[in-house]
Amino acid sequence: MEIKIKKENEIELFNDIFYGSCYYMTLFNLLKFYNRNIYRFLAYDTYYYDASYFMRCKKEKRDMDILKAEGIDVVFRSPKEDVVDCIKKSINGNRVAVIEVDTFFESFRKDTYKLKHNPSAILIYGFNDERNIFYCVEHTITNSLSYQTLEISSEDIRLSYKGFVDNFLKDSDLDYCFYDCYLTSDLCRDEFDYKSELMRNLKVNFSLISNGIRELREILEDIFRTVTDEERLNKDISDLIDRTNKFINAKQIDAYRFKDIFLETGELMLAIDDCIRSFNILRVTLTRYRLTRKYSAMNFIKLKENLDDIYSNEKKYIEALKKNI
Amino acid sequence: MTKQEVSKLIEQDVISKCKENNLSIPDKLEYSESLSVYGVDSIILIDLIVAIENRFMFEIDDEDLVSGAFDNISGISDYVLRKCACGEKS
């Protein structure tokens, strides 16, 4: 028996920007699957610097409430029976399933299969009993924009789901790792004005964003102390690169939502682009060091100019934001 | 060297770096295609750049790397040829 809630050519995939984690990428692909808008997510998130957490995101609405507002209801599952049977039940009930997995057990994931434990989320919209496969939306490389429709074997689904439960569920923020979703209405319940909501949200949280500049100063000073101390740098290099990736990702999200929702092209976009460029230079310098391990104190002292650029570009961004909201 | 020859060498480096990182990669790449399509992320790109620096024996400024010139094989080849031309003149 083969059941597909939608045909592949009818499925719109979200690969515009990596939205922080594959959990959100799967939620966005779920919204796209039901032809719903992702903007509500974008409108309610505020990114700001925090010296203890580096980059934080304040969420005005709960994820499941946003889905509900877009006409998608979610039911959490705690499968007592075989997860494969549970997913089939969901699909037989005209629902799509979302499960958390450990990509260590996904045989199509060349970057992690039997190499590295890594959490991910999969959207499942069909199955074929004869071929023992599920029809899924998943990406093929960690943290990449490679979401596509894929056929995944039942065995991979079973093992990778179990892998997540065994290796990640305890330490994750999630209370569940399987839910199914269905449409409650053909149309959204309200006419949501994304731009007004984003502006309102940014206004409400402006002090959080602008106070973040002091936190950023602290973060940058700490980075400078680290890069000018070879021993400390060797110890912290991977964390530093991860942190820099988070800063860049948050800035890319800002760029995406301003371009897409505000249709902004002026001063604000220039300021964001400058922030991204200066963070990118930092990432290049750090990554080059991690690969070559050639320490040159002079190079890292030169990096001070780049760190100062990051700070002044962020200040420009905050000033431009203030004028625009 | 011609652009075609430089591109061919860079293509080999891209394939080799992708294989080292367990990415599936075709034997023939589109020179104008963004390297991200083949799974090259910022880390693999820097690894590739270090290989290119060793192969062509010059250093690439970190600021140049974020200019967008390194998005595809064709752009990298243009950059390498410009750098080599500067080296020959100096």
Q: CATH number for the domain including A283?
A: 1.20.120
Report the complex ipTM. 0.81
- Indicate the pLDDT class of residue A1, thresholds 50, 70 and 90: confident
Query: Does residue A243 sit in the same domain as residue A162?
Result: no
Pairwise pLDDT comparison (B62 vs A244), residue with the higher score: A244
Query: Does residue A28 sit in the same domain as residue A151?
Result: yes
Does an H or E element contain A254, and which? helix A230-257
pLDDT at site B78: 95
Say if residue A289's pLDDT is above 80: yes
Under an 8 Å CB criterion, which residues of A touch B?
110-111, 115, 140-141, 143-146, 241, 245, 277, 280-281, 283-285, 287-288, 291-292
Query: Does residue A278 sit in the same domain as residue A215?
Result: yes
Give the integer Cα–Cα distance in Å for B73 and B89: 24
pLDDT at site A187: 62
From A288's Cα to the closest Cα of chain B, the distance in A is 6
pLDDT at site A189: 54
In chain A, residues with a C-beta closer than 8 Å to the C-beta of B48 are none
Question: Is A194 inside any structural domain?
Answer: no
In chain B, residues with a C-beta closer than 8 Å to the C-beta of A141 are 23, 39, 41
Query: Does residue A28 sit in the same domain as residue A136?
Result: yes
Could you report how far apart the first and last alpha carbons of chain B are, in Å? 18
Could B46 and A144 be called an inter-chain contact, meaning their C-beta atoms sit closer than 8 Å?
no
Tokens coding A176: 């569940």
Question: Is A197 inside any structural domain?
Answer: no
How many domains does the structure of chain A reveal? Answer: 2
- CATH superfamily, domain B3-85, is ACP-like (1.10.1200.10)
Give the integer Cα–Cα distance in Å for A274 and A288: 21
Query: Does residue A259 sit in the same domain as residue A296?
Result: yes
**Cβ–Cβ < 8 Å for A206, A322:** yes
DSSP reduced 3-state for A102? strand
Supply the range of the domain harboring residue A160.
Answer: 2-183
Mean pLDDT of B4-23: 92
Mean pLDDT of A150-164: 95
Query: Does residue A159 sit in the same domain as residue A217?
Result: no
Question: Is A270 inside any structural domain?
Answer: yes
Question: Is A198 inside any structural domain?
Answer: no
Query: Does residue A171 sit in the same domain as residue A221?
Result: no
From A308's Cα to the closest Cα of chain B, the distance in A is 15
Query: Does residue A223 sit in the same domain as residue A178?
Result: no
Q: What are the domain boundaries of chain B?
A: 3-85
Query: Does residue A225 sit in the same domain as residue A93?
Result: no
What's the pTM value of the predicted model, to 2 decimals?
0.86
Could A287 and B43 be called an inter-chain contact, meaning their C-beta atoms sit closer than 8 Å?
yes
Query: Does residue A266 sit in the same domain as residue A309?
Result: yes
∠ CA A231-A234-A235 to the nearest 5 degrees?
90
**Cβ–Cβ < 8 Å for A316, A274:** yes
